[in-house]
Amino acid sequence: MSDSLNVYLILAGILFAIGTFGFLARRNAISMLMSIELMLNAVNLSIIAFGAFVERLAVHGSVIAIMVMAVAAAEATVGLAIVIAIFRNRKTPLVDEYDAMRQ
């Protein structure tokens, strides 16, 4: 089971779908950021799986996964800072009340 690329890819797909659901359905901005982290991790899992099973990607997969991780860390930093800044102005973490640009 752990020797088949398809199992890893389907696992990554399910985790990505869970993250998609969280991003679409949650109301809290930080929950949405956590769902984005889940989706990034799912993509990372698929990259690692390709690195482990495709011969030409053997070492490159790990390198790409590490770079994705660094970019995800940068994204989390900036995203959470933006959420905190908006919270300071609007006093709510719920995204459906961020409607200043809709009026």
| Separation between Cα atoms, residue 71 and residue 17, nearest integer Å | 21
The CB-of-102 to other proteins minimum distance in angstroms stands at 16
| Separation between Cα atoms, residue 64 and residue 68, nearest integer Å | 6
Q: Specify whether the CB–CB gap between 49 and 43 falls below 8 A.
A: no
The CB-of-96 to other proteins minimum distance in angstroms stands at 7
| Separation between Cα atoms, residue 85 and residue 79, nearest integer Å | 10
The CB-of-33 to other proteins minimum distance in angstroms stands at 7
Residue closer to other proteins by CB (options 53, 103) is 53
Residue closer to other proteins by CB (options 74, 101) is 74
Residue closer to other proteins by CB (options 89, 103) is 89
